[in-house]
Amino acid sequence: MVISKLNFEKINSRIFYIEESLKNLYEIKKKGKETFLNDPILISAAESNIRRALEAIFDIARHILAKSYGYKDLEYKQMAKLLVKEKVLPESYLSTLIKMAGYRNRLVHFYFEITPEELWEILEKNLSDFKEFLNLLNFFLMRVSSGI
């Protein structure tokens, strides 16, 4: 692994982006289900923040895999598997990351099928997946910084 090629400023800017998106999503969630489902602006904001947070996660993944391990031109689910293979993230997080990759693709390519109800379900049940990614990434970055 060639750690010196990692651009920590780039990674940190994406981390900040994920944190800001999460903050927005928690604010949207505070409005409650009824308000959310009846407000097209909140629905659009939730969809946009989820998509942006997922894009930032996979931007970080792509950067780490390219700069530290030499991987290029990867699909999103493939990136998830390689992050585990290269021990950037633990195997216990793989299924979550694969689901995130699939949902990212759904948001981008099948956006017309996304329902307010499924977005609300993500707000209710899956925001912790983003926090877990940030915690696991932080652990990886600490290992890298200390040379472990």
Question: Rounded mean pLDDT of 40-44?
Answer: 98
Q: Domain range spanning residue 106? A: 3-146
Q: List pLDDT tens digits, range 69-127.
A: 999 989 999 999 999 999 999 999 999 999 999 999 999 999 999 999 999 999 999 99
**Is this prediction's pTM over 0.85?**
yes
For residue 111, give the DSSP letter: G
Model confidence band, residue 5 (pLDDT cutoffs 50, 70, 90): confident
Q: Which residue has the tokens 């950067």?
A: 63
What pLDDT does 146 receive? 77
pLDDT(134) > 60? yes
User: What pLDDT, on the 0 to 100 scale, is given for residue 1?
Assistant: 52
Q: 16: domain CATH number? A: 1.20.120.580
If one counts the domains in the chain, the total is 1
- pLDDT value of position 145: 82
How deeply is 1 buried, as exposed, middle or buried, from its count of CB atoms within 10 A (0-12, 13-18, 19+)? middle
Residue 3 pLDDT greater than 70, yes or no: no
Confidence of residue 144 (pLDDT cuts 50, 70, 90): confident
